[in-house]
Amino acid sequence: MKIEKIIEKTSKTWEKEFKKGFTAYIILRFLSGKDMYGYEIKSKLDELMQSNTQFQESGIYQNLKKLKSKKFVTSETRKSKKGPKRKYYIITKSGKELLKIFTNNFIYPVSKSIVEMIESEKIKGETK
């Protein structure tokens, strides 16, 4: 197999792993700002990734179902200004606590390290 194919395949694998591993975290992050319904979450995810990665609605709803079963989110049906009623998802106190702990213990240290590595590479002239 040519190296270009191996790189492409590995990149796609990493993308799937990223989506699988961080979609729930990102959903909780969105919900910490405001209550949202499913399609609104999907649109915000797509906007965040700037069309580089598409999120399937089914995957988003699977994440919401898991978060709800663990009591990190709850939901309620509300009237919509346009169209039928919508199910809004609301982050719970335990969801906020999970978000805080994971952000402090993982997201901050990892993102700081990644930025430092990238900056170091720029100084050395290794990246563009």
Supply 93's token pair.
């106190």
Q: How far apart are CA 128 and CA 33, in angstroms?
A: 34
Is residue 48 within 8 Å of 55, Cβ to Cβ?
A: no
Phi, psi of 91 (to 5 degrees): -75, 140
Domains identified in the chain, total number: 1
Q: What is the pLDDT of residues 89-111, one digit of tens each?
A: 999 999 999 999 999 999 999 99
* 72 pLDDT higher than 90: yes
Q: Is residue 8 assigned to a domain? A: yes
Q: How confident is the model at residue 124 (pLDDT cuts 50, 70, 90)?
A: confident
- Nearest 5 degrees, angle CA 59-CA 61-CA 67? 105
Q: Is residue 65 assigned to a domain? A: yes
Q: Is residue 107 assigned to a domain? A: no
Q: Please, which residues have CB within 8 angstroms of residue 84's CB and are 6 or more apart in sequence?
A: none
Q: How far apart are CA 78 and CA 85, in angstroms?
A: 5
The domain of 79 spans 3-91
* 6 pLDDT higher than 80: yes
Q: What is the pLDDT of residues 20-53, one digit of tens each?
A: 778 999 999 999 999 999 999 999 998 888 766 6
Supply 12's token pair.
């796609």
Q: Is residue 111 assigned to a domain? A: no
* 127 pLDDT higher than 60: no
